[in-house]
Amino acid sequence: MSSSAVRDRGSARVRPGRRAALISATVGTVAAGTVLALATAASAGTTLATSAAEKGRYFGTAVAANKLSDSTYVGILNREFNMVTPENEMKWDATEPSQGQFNYTSADRIVSHAQANGMRVRGHALAWHSQQPGWAQNLSGSALRSAMVNHVTQVATHYQGKIHSWDVVNEAFADGGNGARRDSNLQRTGNDWIEVAFRAARTADPGAKLCYNDYNTDGQNAKSNAVYAMVSDFKARGVPIDCVGFQSHFNSASPVPGDYQANLQRFANLGLDVQITELDIEGSGTAQATSYATVVKACLAVSRCTGISVWGIRDTDSWRASGTPLLFDGNGNKKAAYTATLDALNGGTTPPTTVPPTTTPPTTPPPGAGCTASLSLQTWTGGFVATVRVTAGSSGTNGWAATVTLPAGTAVTNAWNAQNSGTTGTVRFTNVGYNGRLTAGQSTEFGFQGAGTPPSGTPSCTAS
Ligand code: G2I
């Protein structure tokens, strides 16, 4: 796969949540064991993921591996989100607790959950002054520089092909008025440590978008000006950087800045993506809801704002739980902030809640070798997101290929969790490295976005 193809796969447009309710759907069994679920009308989404996808964005959340056994948590996660950021599990202290000894157990759990549920992953964070293992905290100079480069290389290589975007460097600028770099052991290895980290990440995973991520850079100020200057310089000198993450941790002392959208836009104008990476807003009720809507509208107004991630699911999951900063309360109920966020994603339209989804559950594939595929669509005027579920027959698979026939004039604009050959006509999607092997009856999902009229046929599936 060429690196440009890989980068396309990691671009902004995303599939809706796996359990997307299709407002108006017909289902037909086209061939034995193969089901087509086809949305027939454009519609306002009913989950954060579907609504964001209709606007060409993803909607994500921070996830903690130790909560993946909490059924309420997982129920909301799978229903509402199509991007996950490991909250702590990919950090240096978690992934390299002893020098040269890598532990990916917790992070892999999150990545596996994401892949099994058709979500993508924001990697967080490769190089950061905080949450370093003790051994790294005690290093300096060239020993620390080498250790940092090795860490970036090893972790990005381990997750190569599985990460939509990496926070390559996190929080490297100081607060306050002078726009200086933050003092840290990494900074003291030399001012070029940031670009060295980005180059190492690009070499290790050419398909991932590489982001600089920070807080208190959400409006125009001395700190964001300093980041802006660094990014401008990187773009001018060809240092590989694809995106800037705006953490967007807000409260009454640090509200959504009045120039939030303008600040996103000026970074986008440098020719890279912007992402809202750790959104949470302390508060409650209408005030909190209004602030969430402001953030969402700002992202939607900036064409290169490719997605929004909140920093946790329920208020009780938050790193600052007492501020009740999230979209779901401690019982998993939707808050006013949720409704405002969804409405903003839907362009101010409240989606109908009285129309039940009419998607018929897929039929059980007949026993036998090979594989079957089912297709579900979320459509809007001029485009669609297709989710294809591949299910192995009784022999399991070592690899698979699903073929979809597109109407004339329709093209695949990007695909994820599969590699497409061609973009028009009969398009063949083959497994990627991590989802080719399926045991008997096991399923996996991939997705693609199209411009034009959605396919009306049924994907065929062949196994190897
Ligand atoms: O502080 C909020 C975020 C700011 N931007 C970078 C993010 O990585 C950061 O996330 C937070 C996590 O949400 C917390 O969960 O980073 C904190 C550490 O800097 C995380 O807190 C740590 C606690 O400090 C540890 O005591 C604890 O062992 O979480 C660890 C795992 O629960």
Which has the higher per-residue pLDDT, 458 or 306? 306
Share of the chain above pLDDT 70, in %: 86
Report the range of poorest mean pLDDT among 209-218, 356-365, 408-417: 356-365
Q: At what angle do helices 141-158 and 193-204 cross, to 10 degrees?
A: 30
User: Would you state the pLDDT for residue 139?
Assistant: 98
Per-residue confidence band for 43, with pLDDT thresholds at 50, 70 and 90: low
**Distance from Cα 86 to the centre of ligand 1, integer Å:** 11
Could you give the count of Cα atoms lying within 13 Å of 230 in the half-sphere of its Cβ? 26
pLDDT at residue 356 tops 90? no
pLDDT at residue 148 tops 70? yes
Q: Is 434 in the pocket of ligand 1 (CB under 6 A)?
A: no
Best of 87, 88, 318, 322 to mutate for ligand 1, by most ligand atoms within 8 A of CB? 88
Report in angstroms the alpha-carbon separations of 163 from 337, 395, 404. 29, 30, 25
User: Do 11 and 79 meet the contact criterion of CB atoms below 8 Å apart?
Assistant: no
What size, in residues, is the chain? 464
Helical residues (DSSP H) of 97-182, grouped into ranges: 105-116, 134-137, 141-158
Which has the higher per-residue pLDDT, 109 or 349? 109
Q: Is 403 in the pocket of ligand 1 (CB under 6 A)?
A: no
Q: What is the mean pLDDT of residues 6-34?
A: 35
The letter for the amino acid at 13 is: R
User: Would you state the pLDDT for residue 457?
Assistant: 82
The letter for the amino acid at 160 is: Q
What's the token pair of residue 288? Answer: 């909190």
Q: Is 247 in the pocket of ligand 1 (CB under 6 A)?
A: yes
Q: Is 319 in the pocket of ligand 1 (CB under 6 A)?
A: yes
pLDDT at residue 37 tops 60? no
Q: Is 8 in the pocket of ligand 1 (CB under 6 A)?
A: no
Which amino acids are annotated catalytic? 171, 278
- Classified as helix, coil or strand, 333 is coil
**Distance from Cα 340 to the centre of ligand 1, integer Å:** 27
Q: Which residue has the tokens 């006509």?
A: 425
Q: Residues near 361 by Cβ (< 8 Å), separated by ≥ 6?
A: none
How, if at all, do strands 400-405 and 383-392 pair?
Answer: unpaired
Mean pLDDT of the chain: 87
Report the range of poorest mean pLDDT among 122-126, 133-137, 300-304, 434-438: 434-438
User: Do 186 and 147 meet the contact criterion of CB atoms below 8 Å apart?
Assistant: no
How, if at all, do strands 243-246 and 273-281 pair?
Answer: parallel
User: Would you state the pLDDT for residue 407?
Assistant: 93
pLDDT at residue 335 tops 70? yes
Per-residue confidence band for 38, with pLDDT thresholds at 50, 70 and 90: very low
DSSP 384: E
DSSP 321: G
- The residue among 11, 108, 88 whose CA lies nearest residue 57 is 11
Report d(CA 445, CA 436) in Å as an integer: 11
Report the range of poorest mean pLDDT among 174-183, 359-368, 389-398: 359-368
Per-residue confidence band for 2, with pLDDT thresholds at 50, 70 and 90: very low
User: Would you state the pLDDT for residue 112?
Assistant: 97
User: Do 234 and 193 meet the contact criterion of CB atoms below 8 Å apart?
Assistant: no
- E strand residue ranges, 260-399: 273-281, 305-310, 371-380, 383-392
Sheet holding 400-405, edge to edge: 419-421, 426-430, 400-405, 460-463
**Distance from Cα 318 to the centre of ligand 1, integer Å:** 10
**Residues pairing with 383 in the sheet:** 380, 451
pLDDT at residue 4 tops 70? no
Q: What is the mean pLDDT of residues 106-123?
A: 97
User: Would you state the pLDDT for residue 14?
Assistant: 36
- The residue among 20, 6, 89 whose CA lies nearest residue 50 is 20
Query: Over the stretch 407-428, which tens digit does the pLDDT of each residue have?
Result: 999 999 887 778 899 999 999 9
Q: What is the mean pLDDT of residues 60-82?
A: 98
Q: What is the mean pLDDT of residues 363-384?
A: 74
User: Would you state the pLDDT for residue 348?
Assistant: 58
Q: What is the mean pLDDT of residues 239-256?
A: 98
**pTM of this prediction?**
0.74
Best of 63, 85, 87, 254 to mutate for ligand 1, by most ligand atoms within 8 A of CB? 87
User: Would you state the pLDDT for residue 224?
Assistant: 98
User: Do 15 and 118 meet the contact criterion of CB atoms below 8 Å apart?
Assistant: yes
Burial category of 209 from C-beta neighbours within 10 Å (exposed 0-12, middle 13-18, buried 19 and up) = buried
What's the token pair of residue 195? Answer: 């670009």
Report d(CA 116, CA 9) in Å as an integer: 17
Q: Is 89 in the pocket of ligand 1 (CB under 6 A)?
A: no
The letter for the amino acid at 420 is: N
Q: What is the mean pLDDT of residues 29-39?
A: 37
